[in-house]
Amino acid sequence: MDGDEPSVEHTGGELRVPEGYSVLTGSVDGRRAVGIVVSKFNAEITNALLERALAELDEIGVPRDAVMIMPVPGAFELPLAAMALAKTRRYSAIVALGCVIRGETPHFDYIASEAASGLQLAAIETGVPVSFGLLTVENRKQAEERIDRAADAVRSALEMADVFSQLRAQAAGPLR
């Protein structure tokens, strides 16, 4: 690979924080209620995303009765649905799942951008973590290769929910 080609390998990892600093880290466990908003558009892909997300929740130990699934027509509707679920305060985290595949017009750019902005806004306005499981891809093959992103979205949502829970508990305690 020469220096002009973009990197296609993205990896997570652990941060190395020097000793002496307080660190607030979240864990992933099954003690939380989770809302899932999922687009029906590109259903072959979004059904696979939903299946993968539910399998991850099962593996983590989230009971099925602690999961609410809200199907919506398309990716553009994901933010409104995420906001509505978050505002109920019944869910510790929201997982947004969808797939936008680039076509021949700028429609892809508008939908992908507005969905991303709207999902972030839902999280910011409600304080409930909303994870980004919206695939924005060039073609169906890329989407199929990224189905596991649904599991990543589940884990991110639960980790952030735990961090926020710890932060609220610390805020309620005595000052140092």
Known catalytic residue: 10? no
8 Å CB contact between 129 and 94? yes
Q: Taking Cα atoms as reference points, which of 41, 175, 52 lies closest to residue 99?
A: 41
SS3 67: strand
Catalytic residue, from 40, 107, 140, 168: name it: 107
- CA proximity to 137, closest of 173, 101, 91: 101
Q: What share of the chain is helix, strand, coil (3-state, %, to 5)?
A: 50, 15, 35
Q: Which residues are tagged catalytic?
A: 107
